[in-house]
Structure 1
Amino acid sequence: MQRPGTTVSLDRFEAILPRILELEDELTALTDAEFTARAIELREIISKPRDGQAPLAEPLPIDAEDLADICATGREAGRRALGERAFDVQLLGAMAMLQGNVVEMATGEGKTLAAVIAAYGYVVRGSQVQVLTANDYLADRDARWMGPVYRMLGLSVGSVGEGCTHDERAAAYRCDVTYVSVSEAGFDFLRDQQVLRAEDTVMPGLYTVIVDEADSILIDEARVPLVVAGSLADATSDASAAATLVAAMRPGRDFEVIDDGRNVQLTDVGAALVERAWGGIHLYAPENLHRLTAVNLALHARTLLSVDVDYIVKDGRIALVDEFRGRVARRRRWPDGLQAAVEAKEGLAATDEGEILATITVQAFIALYPTVAGMTGTAATVGDELREFYRLEVAVIPPNTPNVRVDEPDRVYATIEEKEEALAAEVAAAHETGRPVLVGTLDVAESERLAALLQDRGIACTVLNAKNDAHEAAVIAEAGGRGAVTVSTQMAGRGTDIRLGGSDGADRAAVAELGGLYVIGAGRHDSRRVDDQLRGRAGRQGDPGGSVFFVSREDELIVRHGDGIGGTTAGDGRVTGPHVDWAVGHAQRVAEGVDFEIHRNTWRYGVLIERQRQVLARRRTALLTTDAAAELLREGKARFPADRSLVAAGQWTDEDGEPDGGLETVTVAERYAEVVAAIGEEAAEEVARQIALHHLDRGWADHLGMLANVRDGVHLRALGRQDPLDEFHRVAVPAFQQMLDEADADTAETFMAARIERPDWTPADAGLERPSATWTYMVHDNPFGSEIERLFGRMAKALLGR
């Protein structure tokens, strides 16, 4: 039957379940050694792997009988290795993933084991599999936890984390199945695009990926750029001086907040103040653009970013807070100098920003895998986005046991203070009975306010937020204990089950009698999925549970996206009326619509950049693995002075760019022959390769910087009734081809100018230095959006009737 919220019918998978059951007795009768041999034999029958054969770019087709064998074998392996026999619904999830879908399975329904069966199926069909997780902890945990199952199936499994060495990464990626966080996988991919020797890469290729927490990675983090950056020599910043100026400014007189609180701008009075402070400069003159930018960023840092909401200060550094998880966003920074502005605001030393050497968005990285599948607890509500951006369909898997959680209507209050007082009273009432309570808040500051309110009432609680998330899994595992009160920002312990009665289940019956875990949301998030994830912490596998959300008219969601909440206000601030729930839902739908439109439109810009990156990657691979660079020089007909010092000085051409007619000249090809005679063909090829790689990498880094500047300013073209995207393409397309041509020309010129007289010559001998240090980070979404994103946001609100 067709289930609500999905375009994928489960009928064909349900029809296979009886055959899987038939195979169970046959597999149970085997010894462990016989069973593993049978699992390996199934792989050999279906994919016929050969020694040294690379994994298939796309898995072999699969029929119903193969699906039955794979699922029956996977179920038996789980029973033997873990003592867990997969439920039928887990097999349905595995089969749906094996058909390249995203499956929605409720919390506690066993997605982790379902993914193992799916991964085994893909390996059996000739592919290699990477399971992408939200963080390093989950990658390591799941690889260790499921390792015995994989070994029972005759497969190798590894995991990659931030602390892994080059060799450890390479070994993990060679396994049949590799668990790795999406950020680490992306960083490894980008670093492989920077190597100077083919053997230094760690990834053997991208084949099949199973994305855990698929909605978070594929939607929430889709636009997040992964970055490899390099040190900039003599980098300077006006951030500190700008922060000092802005700190003394008065709102309303010197600056004003606009665009629904998502932008801020100087007034004429504020601009004059800045000009006087910097010695009477003209702030808007082209030569002072860097100072104007620094002041604007300082204004944004002061007025639009709040400590303990958008970021925390930890160990003398700024730590960004992930808006969807409420936890520290590791290895993330804001773009375009905003990070330095916030550091200056807080009086901290500026961290090195460097220049971007290579970058790719999470969405573009995932799209490189020929086969994509995924799993999550909440996918149906973003089915349209998954279909549009990834060509993925959603399969909603029913729970093994019906959900009996009681979800109450929202309770709406006039003010935040009244909302939090009512919430604290609700927690106190539940706590008095011994019922465990999990409170989900929208930010760190709110979690600490509520914890203080509870402590004033004599209620001890555990606070879990970005300031103390080191032992999150252990804290959440005990959140279902009798009398436990846990206050957590956003997604509480995603990937960790909350068992009634605590991790050991000692008081399970008593807690169940009290109604199970009670989840209380301290406000609605912009995304319904995030609320559903919090709500889904209760009612695991048919457990009793309850949930309710407290909302106020002053909540940011309502202020920014709502049309106001009418109704009658009681003495305690409670707002009631026939349209109250609709108003809250409307604000949430508008917020989701705006984000969808921004995603759709900014993605269109990313498409061109990603296509250019792929062209560059193919050229770089050719340089790295073939004699393409040497061939470029061997065929070079351009003429240069025979005197290399003239080439190096760059003073040897006439007005038309041709060599001075009075100079003795040689062609690039002639020069290449001279070098071969001096150091040998193999060494000459390597020299050509290293020079070409340097200029290609240098050109790409400059091109990325240019594109960022173009995109930041292209929104102004809309004011002249020009399509910003068309204008962006008009600049970016020829600039990319020019960059490639200039890289070839610079390669020839460097080769002509350099004194190459020994086989171990390197580009550094000609002054071509690579960055002294490189590092990786994720660019955190600009919290108030770029100019172009704000433009799209206004357009989206208009389309949605705002």
Structure 2
Amino acid sequence: MFASVLKKFFGSKNERVLKSIQPLVAAINQLEPEIQKLDDAALVAKTVLFKERLAAGVPLDSLLPEAFAVCREASWRALGMRHFDVQLIGGIILHQGRIAEMKTGEGKTLAATLAVYLNALTGRGVHVVTVNDYLARRDAEWMGKLYRFLGLSVGSILHEMDDAARREAYAADITYGTNNEFGFDYLRDNMKFELADFCQREFHYAIVDEVDSILVDEARTPLIISGPSEMSTELYDKVNRLIHKFKVDEHYTLDEKARSVSLTEEGVNLGEKLLEIENLYDPRNIEWLHHLNQALKANVLFKRDVDYLVRDGQVVIVDEFTGRAMQGRRFSDGLHQALEAKEGVKVEKENQTLASITFQNYFRMYEKLSGMTGTADTEAAEFKKIYNLDVVIIPTHNTMIRKDYADVIYKNAAAKDRAIIREIQELHKKGQPVLVGTISIDVSEKISAMLKKVGVPHEVLNAKQHEREAEIVADAGQKGHVTIATNMAGRGTDIKLGEGVTELGGLHILGTSRHESRRIDNQLRGRSGRQGDPGSSRFYLSLEDDLLRIFGSDRISGIMDKLGMEEDEPIEHTMISRAIENAQRKVEGHNFDIRKHLLEYDDVMNKQREVIYRQRREVLSSDDVHEVVTDMLPELAEMVAQEFAESRIPSEEWDWNGLSERMFALFGFSGEWSEEEKKDLDSAACTELILAAVQARYAKREQEIGELNMRHLERVVLLQIVDHHWKEHLLNMDHLKEGIGLRGYGQKNPLDEYKKEGFNMFGEMIHAVKTQTVSTLFRLQLVRDEEVAELEREQREQRQPMQLSRGDDEDNEHKPFSREGDKVGRNSDCPCGSGQKYKRCCGKSGGKK
């Protein structure tokens, strides 16, 4: 009550923000006549002037009115487009590090150029993040004319580029690219062995286009670089053949809301009987349990032509938000292999994580972040909580006149489908174009088949017609056209009306059901009524739709039964709309919990990732890591001393033989001391004794190998061991996360347990890195100087990433060089098990293992 009174007197928060921006807009408009008088050379010279003023210490914000006025005039000269006042507002919001919600057709791409130009003047780089390669290329070329006119450089990061081209693009003042490319480049950079090979610069400022799609929808799955693991693929086929014997409710429970299946006690017993094992939960049988769970998921939860397609003998994921086939991407954790076994296609090998990061943690690295989209307000709370981003709704340039009709609901799907076809027929006869929105490929094809029966010509846009997308979308607003589209979100589309369509009422949007996210519905609606065009929209629902069936349609069903409504009789009521909105809120809340859960767990990994990546960069930025290595020696000397220095007995009676053996195991030499030296020692003195011996031996090693070679070796060995242990640590953390949920049964918080154990495991990893680095450097024998370079070359090859992936949706399209089997390094332990180095054992003959 009090809040509504305040709002009445002071306006909403959004209105107050827009009001505070008005003086800036007025200042930009006031400068326009003066800027228009400048010739091209004088206009371009403004960029140099702005940079000089920034270098002299002038704040960036003080340049905003003049820089925006210059950018607006340059846009008119280079592109033939002049920014509207609402686009100026959008540009200001983006510069302030907020999210600008601008309706479809309001010119977000052009509005972004204002903030991009101003922030690029710093010379620190601006990243513009798009949802696909096509938009990155298009926008870089299109808006690039404006930036180049003003004397700034532009680059774009595209999927097929090599590192040299990527470095050049990142060095530009403005860089366009997709979220995946930016994220993967960050991970790949932190797997490299020379700073000169890094592609990216600092994370200064990013504008995220379709920000809700990238920072919300896609944030459910992390970016992963993975390599092949040793797990056999035959187990998937074996387990899949048994799944048909498992019955719902008897052997497993199904939760459609959470999209999960769980084995019951009877299911576990059946699994043990079929697999001929005593205890499915024995640690030795954990692999069988994992396969059984994934096979159940694949067969019960995942539907062909909804969640995935089978094309050319491969299981191809369908993006749930865009309806596109995601060629090359794979579900992780063995789920994709389980689907391959289910569909009877070749089962590919599973992969092990080499590097990973969530989009949340990647984008939070930027000093300043902003975004733009047509639909962000419904997720405003999440943007604020996760990214500290405020959403500002920008008014439209022209008044929105689209008619949004109330939803109509039918008793069953058949009645709903008949009503949909009737409406399409009527509108087609009239000549009004119709865009039919569906949530899956099979619904698209069902509507298409029904339209064919009644003789209505139409186009279908889904993952199977991906190649013809641009052509189909371009014609969707033409007179008499009927277009069926699976999830229009994030397609970068702007449907223009054909001749005579305005008089017929504009483009009509027909939703065949409500999506679980209100944003996706709003995005579909937003395809109509652009820039003040006429248009209309209506959604059709039935009680059999997943959204209503799963999230409480009993009340609505009861009302329909009480009213005695017929099958083909629809109901339209505000109560229905409220019930649907509540159902969508429940799903959105559930999805937010999933993303929050993912982030909470990745935050643990993120702190560890920052430590490892920072240390790697420090090593790479210096040719001399001698101090880093020698700093490890006191800690290891103290560790050995504490093991053998017993305060309760005289030092000369300590287990000096055991200490010598421990020294040999760790440092490759046995410590030898006189009886006099062993007398009257405590733990600290023992540490000093061991440390002196170790330091003397290390200095001798340096003389044998040569100082230059030793510096190079220290760097190569340290990097190799850090990378090896980090990879193993990622695998161990994956396993920990997989089983940590069971701690909840012991009244323990799984996240707290994960943090605690993850911290301990990280400490153990750091200790292992120090121990192995020192041990290796004491033992490594080099025959020739060239072997140092050989060791580095082997190291590079072994760390070559095998596969890039998106968490559950693994992006397998990048396939750098890989080979069959592992190459054995000359200085590695021989795989025959002799305990000798490969070059001194089986490698002597020059053969390959």
When normalised by structure 1's length, the TM-score is 0.89
Match of 1:85 in 2: 82
Amino acid at match of 2:600: R
1:27 paired with 2:46, answer no
Please, which of 16, 32, 55 is the counterpart of residue 24 of structure 2? Answer: 16
Match of 2:200 in 1: 203
Cα separation, partners in 2 of 1:254 and 1:596, compared to 1, 3 Å: closer
1:709-720 correspondence runs (5 A): 709-720=735-746
Cα separation, partners in 2 of 1:629 and 1:350, compared to 1, 3 Å: farther
Cα separation, partners in 2 of 1:178 and 1:580, compared to 1, 3 Å: same
CA offset digits 1:138-167 (Å, max 9, x no partner)? 111100111110111111001011101111
CA contact (8 A) 1:2 1:9 kept: no
Match of 2:584 in 1: 588
CA contact (8 A) 1:230 1:355 kept: yes
Match of 2:60 in 1: 62
1:66-215 correspondence runs (5 A): 66-215=63-212
Cα separation, partners in 2 of 1:265 and 1:492, compared to 1, 3 Å: closer
CA contact (8 A) 1:3 1:396 kept: no
Match of 1:748 in 2: 774
Match of 1:284 in 2: 281
Match of 1:598 in 2: 594
1:305-454 correspondence runs (5 A): 305-329=302-326, 331-454=328-451
Amino acid at match of 2:19: D
Shift of 1:410: 0.5
Cα separation, partners in 2 of 1:668 and 1:199, compared to 1, 3 Å: farther
CA contact (8 A) 1:654 1:660 kept: no
Shift of 1:340: 0.8
CA contact (8 A) 1:283 1:292 kept: yes
CA contact (8 A) 1:7 1:394 kept: no
1:776 paired with 2:783, answer no
Match of 1:540 in 2: 530
Shift of 1:367: 0.5
Shift of 1:24: 1.9
Q: Distance in 1 between matches of 2:437 and 2:567?
A: 26
Please, which of 679, 692, 698 is the counterpart of residue 718 of structure 2? Answer: 692
Match of 2:550 in 1: 560
Match of 1:526 in 2: 516
Cα separation, partners in 2 of 1:218 and 1:681, compared to 1, 3 Å: same
CA contact (8 A) 2:224 2:356 kept: yes
Q: Distance in 2 between matches of 1:189 and 1:330?
A: 23
Shift of 1:429: 1.1
The alignment yields a C-alpha RMSD, in angstroms, of: 2.7
CA contact (8 A) 1:130 1:208 kept: yes
Q: Distance in 2 between matches of 1:4 and 1:443?
A: 38
Runs (4+) of structure 1 exceeding 6 A deviation are 766-769
Cα separation, partners in 2 of 1:533 and 1:500, compared to 1, 3 Å: same
Deviates more, 1:302-311 or 1:415-424: 415-424
SS at 1:356 equivalent = strand
Shift of 1:124: 2.1
Shift of 1:615: 1.2
Q: Distance in 2 between matches of 1:103 and 1:378?
A: 9
CA contact (8 A) 2:185 2:200 kept: yes
Shift of 1:557: 1.3
Cα separation, partners in 2 of 1:2 and 1:747, compared to 1, 3 Å: farther
CA contact (8 A) 1:17 1:88 kept: yes
Q: Distance in 1 between matches of 2:263 and 2:763?
A: 39
Deviates more, 1:600-609 or 1:417-426: 600-609
CA offset digits 1:534-568 (Å, max 9, x no partner)? 10000000000011111111111112223532433
Please, which of 473, 476, 497 is the counterpart of residue 476 of structure 1? Answer: 473
Which structure 2 segments of 5+ residues have no match? 1-8, 639-655, 673-689, 811-849
Q: Distance in 1 between matches of 2:508 and 2:156?
A: 35
Cα separation, partners in 2 of 1:160 and 1:574, compared to 1, 3 Å: same
Cα separation, partners in 2 of 1:672 and 1:633, compared to 1, 3 Å: farther
Higher share of residues assigned helix: 2
Deviates more, 1:134-143 or 1:676-685: 676-685
1:432-511 correspondence runs (5 A): 432-491=429-488, 494-501=491-498, 507=499, 510-511=500-501
Q: Distance in 1 between matches of 2:117 and 2:448?
A: 45
SS at 1:470 equivalent = helix
Q: Distance in 1 between matches of 2:791 and 2:28?
A: 66
Q: Distance in 1 between matches of 2:768 and 2:455?
A: 71
SS at 1:13 equivalent = helix
Shift of 1:346: 1.1
Identity of aligned residues (%): 38
Shift of 1:762: 4.7
Cα separation, partners in 2 of 1:614 and 1:708, compared to 1, 3 Å: same
Q: Distance in 2 between matches of 1:37 and 1:232?
A: 57
Amino acid at match of 1:62: L
Shift of 1:390: 0.8
When normalised by structure 2's length, the TM-score is 0.84
CA contact (8 A) 1:562 1:586 kept: no
Match of 1:729 in 2: 755
Q: How many residues align?
A: 753
CA offset digits 1:28-65 (Å, max 9, x no partner)? 2222222212233223223459xxxxxxxxxx74345x
CA contact (8 A) 2:231 2:350 kept: no
Q: Distance in 1 between matches of 2:348 and 2:10?
A: 54
Which structure 1 segments of 5+ residues have no match? 50-59, 502-506, 641-651, 783-802
Amino acid at match of 2:48: I
Q: Distance in 2 between matches of 1:417 and 1:61?
A: 63
Match of 1:663 in 2: 670
Please, which of 299, 303, 307 is the counterpart of residue 296 of structure 2? Answer: 299
Cα separation, partners in 2 of 1:634 and 1:733, compared to 1, 3 Å: closer
Amino acid at match of 1:614: E
Q: Distance in 1 between matches of 2:294 and 2:596?
A: 26
Shift of 1:354: 2.0
Match of 1:761 in 2: 787
Shift of 1:748: 1.0
1:624 paired with 2:620, answer yes
Shift of 1:260: 4.4
Match of 1:789 in 2: none
Q: Distance in 2 between matches of 1:263 and 1:17?
A: 52
CA offset digits 1:62-94 (Å, max 9, x no partner)? 345x21111111111110111001111111100
Shift of 1:760: 3.2
Q: Distance in 2 between matches of 1:8 and 1:473?
A: 40
Deviates more, 1:146-155 or 1:754-763: 754-763
